[in-house]
Structure 1
Amino acid sequence: MQGKISKSRVDKMRAGEIIADGEIRGFVARKLSSGKVTFGYRYRDAAGKQKWHGLGIMGSITPDEARTLAKKRAGEVADGRDPSAERATAKAEAAKASRASSNTVNAILDDFVMRHASKLRSEDQITSALDRYVRPQIGETSIYELKRRQIVEMLDSVEDKAGPVMADRVLAHVRKAFNWQAARDDDFLSPIVRGMARTKPKERARQRVLTDDEIRDIWHALETADAPSCYPRYVKMLLLTMTRRNESADMNAVEIDGDLWTIPGERYKNKLDHVIPLPPDAKALIGTKPQGFKGNNWFVFSTTDGKRPFSGFSKAKASLDAEIAKRRKAEGRAKMPRWTLHDLRRTARTLMSRAKVPEDHAERAMGHVIAGVRGTYDRYSFLDEKREAFQRLADLVAIILKPPAKNVVRFDREMA
């Protein structure tokens, strides 16, 4: 129906009725089945497609106000503009701006830590690096506006303060967080690209092997360091079994059968069971079941009476380093160079070579799969050879801790 759209005319409309204004072409009023009256402007865009541009609902806008808006929209169309498309664009930009303001780097890191990193044993290291180096630099920036330049500047700052290795660690944490977000967000593209690392792969590979003096320093400092009671046994086990940090930390009594410790494949790097024949010095570190613990699945190294594995690596290591430094200073010796728990594994492998353990036997003792035999891997193969390898390692460590007099034949010659 055609006619002038006015309040009196609109008040008489029936449900489903449409009035096309006789003065402004395209200005329309229609009454919905709900009883509401909506005003709109109908037009064709540059491609000839018919469009509807809503002007408002009766009650929130009067017919005269709707007429004024329709006249304005008609002028825009005459000028080649598309009111509906412009409104959609403005709405999308507003939504994007709102989303950007809520999706800052800090917000993404919070979500990443809560949903992902909190489940990892390395949570403390990750959150510490993010809190110290990332949030102060780019935390308030929207992830949709973050530029590569900002990432580079952040890494420059980390490198200046803590060195290139720390910069690469921070980069690894941020890359993982951003990749995690990108898998959940259609609109986010990580600004991190290849070439941002500050060290080369060969430079990142640590070559640190502890000297005999350093091994003695660690052993002696463990006895007085302000660390959990399980920590000295744990650190010694790392060296005597050539295991990685979490492999020993998660050691459970159910994995031990006599002098054999079987690390299940689900928590071993190569996904295969790794059997370690424990020499007496290593087996003595296991201790006894905590009093009151029900069952046999207690964790050997624990601060919770066997209920959970030891996990306070950073704090305990810092206490151990402080004790070593104190002892060295008192003896007038230089500060011990930086070392990590993983250096114990590399040191143990070096000691096996020094104890004349055949290379293949040492590699098997270390848990490495010899090329060409993965398909026929037998977890009990070379058991006697591994037992001999670990015993030689334990014997050499014992000699290092209590060096023989100068007139006694040296261990490496004796093993020749």
Structure 2
Amino acid sequence: MRGKITKEAVEALKPGEIISDTNPTGFVARCQPSGKISYFYRYRDKKTGKKYWLGLGVHGDITPKRARELAAARAGEVAGGTNPLMEQQSQREEAQIAEKAADNTVDAVLDDFVKRHAQKLRSGDQVKRAFDDYVRPEIGDRSIYGLKRNEITKMLDKVEDKAGPVMADRVLAHVRKAFNWQAARDDDFSSPIVRGMARTKPKERARKRVLADDEIRDVWTALQSAELPECYRRYVKSLLLTATRRNEAADMSSIELEGDTWTIPGERYKNKLDHVVPLTAQARALIGEKPEGFRGNAWFVFSTTGGDKPFSGFSKCKKALDKQIAKIRKDEKREKMARWTLHDLRRTARSLMSRAKVPADHAERVLGHVIGGVRETYDRYEYLDEKRDALEKLAGLVDLILNPPANNVFRLEEARG
């Protein structure tokens, strides 16, 4: 029915009844079957000719006067060529997108990726450190839906300046995997990473760095003089004397030690097989005793928390170590030491074993490389004596490098072969 919408008229409506007002035209009050009375503005879109009902509010929440004011405002919008209902939907969609974006920052995605995927990998700790050290400080608070390629590029530029192009490519690989993982779970996300962002070619990423004798001496000297945790000094030396990888040594637990052998369990070794490392006297001296006050049965050997957790401050300590090496060389008026990584010590150990006349297949077994491929049966103690001999020769050569007899220089030259 037609009439003026007033409080009395509206409250007299019965379920299903409607009042159509003419001020403005299209302003209506409708009593729903439930008895609830709602205000609407009815209009026709000028462009499409389609009719719309735009809700203005519920009687009781707003007054008839306020509903009339809202209807007049919407009528003005329609007269100006705007479709107010479509505008409201668009605003709601934008608000939903904004709310979703706030919940999907790069930090949030990385957290989820690490929790659900990366922490299950053997390289999980490395992935997490790369995110923490290089990604989160630069783009962590950015929404993944607004992330631009140039932001990824700028982040990689900083990684390259700070840690070199190879590290930049490693960070890129980790972030690419995380973003692809997210894209597979999120219809609205498309990764901004594209081909051509890498800083090196695959062949260039294969490092060949081996420390020279004077560089080994510089590392040992700097380890003693730099401000470093005591466990880090022992840890770095162990990398060379056991030829193990960074995380394998960092996570060494007392439960893995038995007499003069260290068994790295397959679940945290690269080839997924248990790897037994014979410990020389030099290596055993780096392990130390049970931390004072530790009440458990198994403790982490290299720890700044009294054995409770394995050492993890790699980046900070490596910077302090490099700074001390640079100081030593500057004071002695020598050239700067070329960039090196902790993993280079493993490669250096392999080179030193060759210098010490260790048979190649024995040296490869020390590094955990299974000769001839993975067999159906695997004896963890196979070639244990040969590996022990190889590591004894390695330790002896390292001692000779660190303490070259002044009157027997020829012995070092002879060791070089």
Q: TM-score range by the shorter chain?
A: 0.7 to 0.9
Question: Is this contact kept in 1: 2:16–2:33, CA < 8 A?
Answer: no
CA apart distance, 1:385? 2.3
CA offsets, 1:121-166, max 9 Å, x none? 455654332366x24xxx7765323332443355456656775345
Between 3-12 and 120-129, the greater mean CA deviation after superposition: 120-129
Q: Paired residue for 2:293?
A: 292
Paired residue type of 1:10? V
Question: Is this contact kept in 2: 1:146–1:191, CA < 8 A?
Answer: yes
Paired residue type of 2:324? E
Question: Is this contact kept in 1: 2:278–2:391, CA < 8 A?
Answer: yes
* Secondary structure at 2:195 match in 1: coil
Q: Paired residue for 2:10?
A: 10
Tell me the percent identity: 60
Paired residue type of 2:134? A
TM-score (norm: length of structure 1): 0.80
Between 121-130 and 39-48, the greater mean CA deviation after superposition: 39-48
Q: Paired residue for 1:275?
A: 276
Is 1:130–2:135 an aligned residue pair?
Answer: yes
Distance 1:71-1:181 versus aligned 2 partners, 3 A rule: same
* Secondary structure at 1:391 match in 2: helix
CA apart distance, 1:347? 0.4
Paired residue type of 1:296? N
Distance 1:22-1:332 versus aligned 2 partners, 3 A rule: closer
- State how 1:255-334 maps to structure 2 within 5 Å: 255-334=256-335
CA apart distance, 1:316? 2.6
| Gapped regions of structure 2 (runs ≥ 5) | none
CA distance in 1, matches of 2:223, 2:307: 21
Q: Paired residue for 1:340?
A: 341
CA distance in 2, matches of 1:403, 1:153: 47
Q: Paired residue for 1:375?
A: 376
CA offsets, 1:30-67, max 9 Å, x none? 33577541023568999999864313222455546656
CA offsets, 1:313-363, max 9 Å, x none? 233323333333333333332222221111100101111222232222222
Question: Is this contact kept in 2: 1:237–1:285, CA < 8 A?
Answer: yes
Question: Is this contact kept in 1: 2:267–2:273, CA < 8 A?
Answer: yes
CA apart distance, 1:192? 0.9
CA apart distance, 1:299? 1.7
CA distance in 1, matches of 2:142, 2:203: 34
CA offsets, 1:364-396, max 9 Å, x none? 210123343343333222222222222222222
Would you say how many aligned residue pairs link Structure 1 and Structure 2? 404
CA distance in 2, matches of 1:149, 1:322: 32
CA apart distance, 1:4? 2.8
Q: Paired residue for 2:400?
A: 399
Paired residue type of 1:223? Q
CA apart distance, 1:69? 6.2
* Secondary structure at 1:389 match in 2: helix
CA apart distance, 1:211? 0.7
Paired residue type of 2:110? F
* Secondary structure at 2:225 match in 1: coil
CA offsets, 1:258-288, max 9 Å, x none? 2221011222222221111122221222222
Between 297-306 and 20-29, the greater mean CA deviation after superposition: 20-29
CA offsets, 1:64-83, max 9 Å, x none? 66567668878999999865
* Secondary structure at 1:376 match in 2: coil
CA apart distance, 1:199? 1.1
Question: Is this contact kept in 2: 1:352–1:389, CA < 8 A?
Answer: yes
Question: Is this contact kept in 2: 1:20–1:26, CA < 8 A?
Answer: no
Q: Paired residue for 2:37?
A: 37
Q: Paired residue for 2:230?
A: 229
Q: Paired residue for 2:110?
A: 112
Paired residue type of 1:399? L
Question: Is this contact kept in 2: 1:19–1:28, CA < 8 A?
Answer: yes
CA distance in 2, matches of 1:283, 1:160: 38
Between 29-38 and 226-235, the greater mean CA deviation after superposition: 29-38
Q: Paired residue for 1:198?
A: 199
Q: Paired residue for 2:20?
A: 21
Between 83-92 and 221-230, the greater mean CA deviation after superposition: 83-92
CA apart distance, 1:308? 2.1
CA apart distance, 1:207? 1.2
Distance 1:229-1:160 versus aligned 2 partners, 3 A rule: closer
Question: Is this contact kept in 2: 1:261–1:278, CA < 8 A?
Answer: yes
Question: Is this contact kept in 2: 1:43–1:51, CA < 8 A?
Answer: yes
* Secondary structure at 1:410 match in 2: helix
Distance 1:296-1:387 versus aligned 2 partners, 3 A rule: same
TM-score (norm: length of structure 2): 0.80
* Secondary structure at 1:92 match in 2: helix
CA distance in 2, matches of 1:284, 1:140: 46
* Secondary structure at 1:21 match in 2: strand
CA distance in 2, matches of 1:322, 1:245: 20
CA apart distance, 1:9? 2.1
* Secondary structure at 1:29 match in 2: strand
Between 41-50 and 375-384, the greater mean CA deviation after superposition: 41-50
Paired residue type of 2:153? V
* Secondary structure at 1:223 match in 2: helix
Q: Paired residue for 1:410?
A: 414
CA apart distance, 1:201? 1.6
Question: Is this contact kept in 2: 1:290–1:305, CA < 8 A?
Answer: yes
